[in-house]
Amino acid sequence: MASDIKAVIFDMDGVLLDTESMSDKTWAMAAKEFNVAVTADALNRCRGSNKEDIIAILKEMYGNDFDVEKFLEATGKYFRELEFSSGIPLMHYAKEILEYLKPKYRLALASSTSGPSVHRQLKNAGLIQYFAQMVTGDMVTHSKPNPEIYLRAASSIGISPENCLAIEDSPNGIRSASAAGMKVIMVPDMIKPTAELEKLCWKVLPSLEELKSVL
């Protein structure tokens, strides 16, 4: 039931900002520089994770001798070049849905991206003012799929997890919010819903615009 929802907690990448397609490009550029292959499976495993978890995944893939820090520095450099040269596009209906929801619910953000990047990107996109609180990847010990970030986001706005709705696009994010005891709506971006993910979701919607039909 939608009547017990008092807060909506958004992921950022691939939900509000179209950063995922940009990120895939920058990883491909860094992979070429470092002479390694980045598969779709590797990209998908890293989606919605913070830096520490991404480092562990890359070391598992390429070995402990692989200079993960330098690789991630390169992806970050390429991303910033794209961000500052052309900006980050909004996902369809991102601003409109925040405008619609703000008078009705407490809004918070739960993003695995680092705080400075989240603040800069949301400010540049004209979205930062919609959120009562923002929890970022550098504020938690364990990133998604661990529930820590969603539990912290709920606590930050003083709403019980069972009264929060999470809006997610990635498997790690969906597992995180579900494990926190929240209702989850998946708005797919790069990854399509599997049977396992659908079981964890309250609803799967084709775009943010469809949220108006349920909230």
Q: Do residue 77 and residue 102 come from a single domain?
A: no
pLDDT tens digit string along 109-128? 999 999 999 999 999 999 99
Q: Do residue 47 and residue 98 come from a single domain?
A: no
Q: Considering the chain, what is the average pLDDT of its residues?
A: 94
Instruction: Give the residue numbers spanning the domain of 112.
Output: 2-18+89-213
Ranking 51-55, 62-66, 86-90 by mean pLDDT, the lowest is 51-55
pLDDT tens digit string along 2-39? 889 999 999 999 999 999 889 999 999 999 999 999 88
Residue 84 and residue 186: Cα distance in Å, rounded?
29
Q: Do residue 155 and residue 208 come from a single domain?
A: yes
pLDDT tens digit string along 155-193? 999 999 999 999 999 999 999 999 999 999 999 998 899
Other CB atoms within a 10 A radius of the CB of residue 145 amount to: 19
Q: Do residue 173 and residue 149 come from a single domain?
A: yes
Domain boundary among 28, 51, 86: 86
Q: Do residue 72 and residue 28 come from a single domain?
A: yes
Structural domain count, the chain: 2
Q: Do residue 110 and residue 204 come from a single domain?
A: yes
Domain boundary among 48, 70, 86: 86
- State the DSSP code for 211: G
pLDDT band at 1 (very low <50, low <70, confident <90, very high): low
Single pTM value for the model: 0.88
Q: Is 166 helix (H, G, I), strand (E, B) or coil?
A: strand
